[in-house]
Amino acid sequence: MMESIEDTQAGGDFFALLDKSGYNLQSFLDKLPVNGKSSVPQGTTVLAFHYEDGVIVAGDRRIMAGSNLMFERCEKVIPVDDYSLMAVAGVPAIAFEISRILSQYFEYYRRTQIRPMSLEGKIRTFSKLLKENLTASTSGLTRVSPIFATYDIESGKPSIYYYDMLGAEFQVLSFTATGAGAGHIRDVLERENQWGPKPLAERCEKDAAVIAMKLLHVAAQIDNQQENAISNVQIYPILASVTENGYKFWNQDQLTRLESMSREER
C-alpha cells in the first residue's frame, strides 16, 4: 500500500500542479449544463474479460439521451497508456476528461520518476479522480461507470478493475460489464465461463473477440428502444485487447471478418 501512496504523490504531485494551474475536475464539471438526467447523453454498454493472452475490452458506439439515439460513433474504449485501457458507460464528456488527465499523469510520472507508475499507483490515481466527480455523480447527472484494464509488466499479469461512482475499485477475476445492457451480458458471460467449451480465461484471442462481438450485438438490440433511429450504415463496436505487447484495437477489416464469423455461429 505504501508503494501506491508514493506513486500518487511522487514527482511533485501532478494533482497539486493542476490546482496551481487553476484546473481541477470539479471546475470542469461545473461548466456542464444541468438540465435533467434524461437529456444528458449517456454511453450504453461496455465489457471486459480475461482470455488466454490478456484482457478483451469492448463497447458499443452509441450515445443515448433517455430513449433517443444521439450519436452512433462514440469511442468508449480509450487508451490511457501503452498498457492500459479505460472503458466507460456514462457521460462521454466526463470519461474523456478523466482519461485525458490519467494519460497525462501517467506520462508525467514516467518522465519525472524515470519509470512507469506501478499497478497500485494507477489504481489509486483512477479512484482519486472518480472521487472528485463525487458531487456530480450523486446528483445522477454526470455519472460514469468505468472499467480499467491494464497489463502489469513487473508481474507479467493482466488486471481488470471495475469502479463504482464513488471511486471504490473492485478487482475482476473473470469478467465484468457496465451500462444499460450489462445485466444480460453478465448472465451470458457467466454461462460461457461455467458451461462453455473452456473457461473464458482459456479462450484464444479469436474466440474471445467473437464472443465480445456477439454480446454487443445483443446489448445493442436490448438498448435500442427506437428501431427506426438506427442508421443502415454498418457501424461495428469498438474491440480492443491488452497483453504483454501493450494494447491494440481491431481495425475495420478485422471487425468485418469477426462479424461474419459471429453471424455464422449464431
User: What pLDDT sits at residue 25?
Assistant: 57
| Cβ-based neighbour number of residue 225 at 10 Å | 12
167 SS3 class = coil
User: What pLDDT sits at residue 24?
Assistant: 59
User: What pLDDT sits at residue 160?
Assistant: 98
Q: Cβ distance 169 to 144 under 8 Å? A: no
Per-residue pLDDT tens for 163-216? 887 778 899 999 999 887 788 899 999 999 999 999 999 999 999 999 999 888
Specify if 13 maps to a domain: yes
When mean pLDDT is compared across 49-63, 79-93, 218-232, the lowest value belongs to: 218-232
40-77 in b/e burial notation, b at 16+ Cβ within 10 A? Answer: bbbbbbbbbbbbebbbbbbbbbbbbeeeebbeeebebb
Q: How far apart are CA 47 and CA 179, in angstroms?
A: 9
Q: Which three cell numbers stand for residue 196?
A: 462453455
- The structural domain count of the chain equals 1
User: What pLDDT sits at residue 36?
Assistant: 47
Per-residue pLDDT tens for 29-77? 555 555 444 454 444 789 999 999 999 999 987 766 555 555 666 788 9
Specify if 35 maps to a domain: no
Indicate the pTM of the whole model. 0.81
User: What pLDDT sits at residue 74?
Assistant: 75
249 SS3 class = strand
Q: Cβ distance 151 to 83 under 8 Å? A: yes
Q: Which amino acid is at 171?
A: Q
DSSP-assigned states of every residue in 114-136: TSPPPHHHHHHHHHHHHHHTHHH
Angle at 195 between CA 192 and CA 196, to 5 degrees: 55
**DSSP conformation class of 229:** G
**123 Cβ contact partners less than 8 Å away, ≥ 6 residues apart:** 4, 148, 161, 169
Domain of 54: which CATH number? 3.60.20.10
Q: Which three cell numbers stand for residue 161?
A: 478493475
Specify if 83 maps to a domain: yes
Find the length of the chain: 266
Strand ranges (E), 111-261: 144-152, 157-163, 169-172, 175-178, 238-243, 246-249
Mean pLDDT of the chain: 78
Distances (CA, A) of 199 to 49, 133, 173, 244: 11, 36, 12, 21
Specify if 247 maps to a domain: yes
User: What pLDDT sits at residue 37?
Assistant: 46
Site of grid cell 454480446 = 215
User: What pLDDT sits at residue 209?
Assistant: 95
**Cα pseudo-dihedral 243, 248, 253, 258, rounded to 10:** 40
| Mean pLDDT, residues 159-164 | 92
126 or 142, higher pLDDT: 126
Q: Is residue 87 over pLDDT 60? A: yes
> What residues make up the domain containing 103?
2-30+40-265
Distances (CA, A) of 79 to 16, 25, 50, 172: 24, 19, 18, 19
163 or 144, higher pLDDT: 163
Highest mean pLDDT among 10-14, 67-71, 117-121, 229-233: 117-121
